[in-house]
Amino acid sequence: MEQMKTFAKITDSPVPSNARLKHIYSSWTKSFLPNKMRAFLFKFYNNLLGTGNRVAHFVGDFDASCTFCTAGLLLPSSIESFSQIFLHCPFVHSIVLAIITKYTAIENAERNYFFGTVSENERWNSTISVFFDTIKYVIWQAKLDKKKSRP
């Protein structure tokens, strides 16, 4: 539970109820998801992704700037942290907001998409959860693809 409070603080998201946490912590066990996505979800929800600021901590002379800001020539680009890449990057934020607005009718969904919640009053919605998890996975894969193509 403490780890999820830290995760919520990092992402500026509300801490889900204990019942919802049970579903979140089992999101990577869904057998219908591809293995790469399941591995990503495990790393995502356990705060283990190799973002630029983390890699730079261990690898000397590593460019820790946001992959998307750098590719879009938004200079100086921000340091690539967990919240930067999935929420605060102007490129990612605009895309996430456009997708959520187009395909859902959820208010404040961009704030709740980290945990796949619609509201704490409704039952677990696995479709929304998988939808939001897929968005996060695609963002991460695009980041990895951009990193590979950097000079």
Question: Which pLDDT does position 36 carry in this prediction?
Answer: 94
Start-to-end CA distance of the chain, whole Å, equals: 41
Q: Which domain holds residue 35?
A: 2-149
The rounded Cα 119 to chain-centroid distance in angstroms is: 18
- Per the DSSP assignment, residues forming a β-bridge with 118 are none
Q: Which pLDDT belongs to residue 18?
A: 73
- Please give the pLDDT value at position 86: 84
How many Å apart are CA 127 and CA 79, to the nearest integer?
A: 32
Domain count, the chain: 1
- The beta-strand segments (E) located in the chain are none
What is the model's pLDDT at position 129? 80
**What is the value of pTM for the model shown?**
0.79
Collect the ranges in the chain with pLDDT lower than 50. Answer: 151
* Residue 53 pLDDT: 87
Residue 107: per-residue pLDDT: 66
**Quick one: DSSP state of residue 59?**
S
What pLDDT, on a 0 to 100 scale, did the predictor assign at position 126? Answer: 75
65: left (phi over 0), alpha (psi -120 to 50) or beta: beta
Residue 73, pLDDT score: 82
User: In the prediction, which pLDDT does 35 show?
Assistant: 93
Q: Compute CA distances 108 → 22, 24, 41, 151, whole Å.
A: 22, 19, 22, 38
Nearest to 7 by CA among 104, 114, 107: 114
